[in-house]
Chains A and B, each alone.
Chain A
Amino acid sequence: MTTPLSTPLSTLRWYGDLYLTMARMAIIEQFQYRAANYMYMIGMVAEPVVYLVVWSVVATQQGGEVGGLTPRTIAAYYIVWTLVRNMNIVFTPFGWEQRIREGQLSGQLLRPLHPIHYDLAFFAGWKVVVIVMWLPIAAVLAWLFRPEIDPRLSQVVVFAVAIWGAYLIRSMLLWMLGMVTFWTTRVGAAFDFFFTAELLLSGRVVPMRLMPDWAQTLARYLPFESTFGFPITALVGPITDAELVEGLIRQAFWIVAGSIGVALMWRRATKVFTSVAG
């Protein structure tokens, strides 16, 4: 494979080919692990079901709604949650230690493209498998919890875009987090703090509108909501078209910021990197 950078169009096609090939490989590979993938997904469903039940009970006790959410809109929120959560699974920052230790990076450094493209393409292909496998799970959950969902066309379109935006942003965030491993191996604690902040300020545990005002304000300056709460609310609502656009702009901002961050960190990281494995 050469690096044909002659015209913008051929470059684009070259990237497209790479992504398609990587994604196709991931699709074929991951369909073989159907059972394992399913076990994993079912284990993951427990978390939103707990939140769903808890908040439904609260809503029922408060006379049918809490913060404008009824048990049925809460059900919709957490069922869409399961898909968005799956879109949020990307290369784990804990994996960097292994990558560095086992010398996988040395090979990747020789490739003509920035290594993030391989991760992005591979996990994107996996997502296709995940979405297909998610549909029956969603159907069962919908049958059990009777969600109320009535999106406008604009909501559906924005949702379809936003889940991929969320995927991109989270990929880059975790890449940056993982790259800290280049400088120190004691990263567990830092990761834990990051994930806790994310858990609380993304809309994962509770829809952001149930958080105190100061937390909602704080979340507006952080990328987490763009990766989680926004895509869900985009589909479940209530949300205006202006808010949909605003959410997409926020996502675009974080994608640009993330790309710059990854590029800068990567350049420094490869300077401190010394290959260890043979």
Chain B
Amino acid sequence: MRLFLIFLRIGVMNEFQYRINLAVQLLQSLIAVGTGLVVLALIFQQTTTLSGWTQPELLVVMGVYTIVGGIVGFIIEPNMGQLMQDIRMGTFDYLLTKPADSQLLVSVRQFRLWALTDVVVGCIVGAWGLASMSATVRPVDAVGFVVFLGAGAVLIYCVWLLITTGAFWFVRMEMVQELFQGIYRAGQYPVSIYPTWLRTILTFVLPIGFAVTFPSEALTRRATVTWALVMIGFTVALFVATRLVWRIGTRRYSGASA
């Protein structure tokens, strides 16, 4: 935890050198959300609900999607990118010699502070959606939302680290980032609209359903206790599995450069 805070402080200080990037990032967040809103408007010009979701409810989904995207961009993506580069360049060797848990170390080294603008913009969109919904949010919904959001972030982290760990075996993995960003788009809509096979992939293989749809379901009173337990159990299991694979991977790792 102390390590995390130290890295966070360095990361934040580092980012404050590039304040203009805040404006750039904010503009990008707004454009992305604006485009999403236009598409939603187009959809709801043709219909009143999408698989049982109303327009305000889909606004909530879009808010959560943007928030999770912000979290991923803030901590997960920069760290995993750095790790992949280290493995390829051979600088990963130095990391292994440091007197701290290597998995923790590779997970909290880098921060892209300005990605948090997505979290802010996402909150605004989500709040707007909630305000235009007829139902109010009960405390239990809010708690469920926070728990699901946290578990979802852990799930995405685990999957990403698992794939990145693949770099121990196959060095060329740079496209993972592109792949993830592409597939993450599917989270813009609740996974229930997708055909069953795709929904299963998006829930258990690439857990975007868990990470985006579940928190949104909590806010729109769709969550059930059973699924909440499934998600938490799955998160714990995947976390343990990731830890194991990381151990095996680092033991197998033998340095990439001469």
Interface residues of A, Cβ cutoff 8 Å to B: 35-36, 39-40, 42-47, 49-50, 53-54, 57-58, 61-62, 66-67, 144, 188-189, 192-193, 196, 199-200, 205-206, 210-212
Contact = CB atoms under 8 A, between A and B. Distances in A.
Interface in B14-69: 24, 27-28, 31, 34-35, 38-39, 42-43, 45-47, 49-51
A188 B24 contact: yes
Nearest to B181: A43
B189 interface: yes
Contacts of A35: 172, 175
B35 A196 contact: yes
Given A46-B185, A53-B198, A61-B47, 13 more contacts: A36-B175, A40-B175, A42-B182, A46-B183, A46-B184, A50-B185, A53-B195, A58-B43, A189-B27, A192-B31, A200-B35, A210-B46, A212-B45
Interface in B225-252: none
A43 B50 CA distance: 25
Contacts of A188: 24
Interface of B: 24, 27-28, 31, 34-35, 38-39, 42-43, 45-47, 49-51, 172, 174-176, 178-186, 188-189, 193-195, 197-198
A192 B23 CA distance: 13
Contact of B182 (A43, A61, A192, A211): A43
B39 A205 contact: yes
Interface centre among A58, A144, A193, by most chain B C-beta atoms within 10 angstroms, is A58
B186 A46 contact: yes
A29 to B, nearest CB: 15
23 contacts: A35-B172, A35-B175, A39-B176, A42-B182, A43-B183, A45-B182, A46-B182, A46-B184, A49-B186, A58-B47, A61-B50, A62-B46, A144-B197, A188-B24, A189-B27, A192-B27, A193-B31, A196-B31, A199-B35, A206-B42, A210-B46, A211-B42, A212-B45
Contact of B38 (A42, A43, A200): A200
A53 B193 contact: yes
Contact of A36 (B43, B46, B174): B174
Contact of A54 (B34, B50, B172, B183): B50
A199 to B, nearest CB: 6
A62 B189 CA distance: 19
Contact of B193 (A54, A67, A189, A206): A54
Contacts of B174: 36
Nearest to B180: A43
Interface centre among A46, A192, A196, by most chain B C-beta atoms within 10 angstroms, is A46
Nearest to B170: A35
Contacts of B47: 58, 61-62, 66
A212 B182 CA distance: 27
B19 to A, nearest CB: 14
A49 B187 CA distance: 12
A43 B24 CA distance: 25
A14 B46 CA distance: 54
A9 B194 CA distance: 56
Contacts of A193: 31
A73 to B, nearest CB: 15
Contact of B175 (A39, A46, A144, A206): A39
Contact of B172 (A36, A45, A61): A36
A40 B178 contact: yes
Contacts of A42: 179, 182
A62 B44 CA distance: 12
Contacts of A45: 182
A35 B188 CA distance: 27
A39 B34 CA distance: 28
Contact of B188 (A50, A66, A192, A199): A50
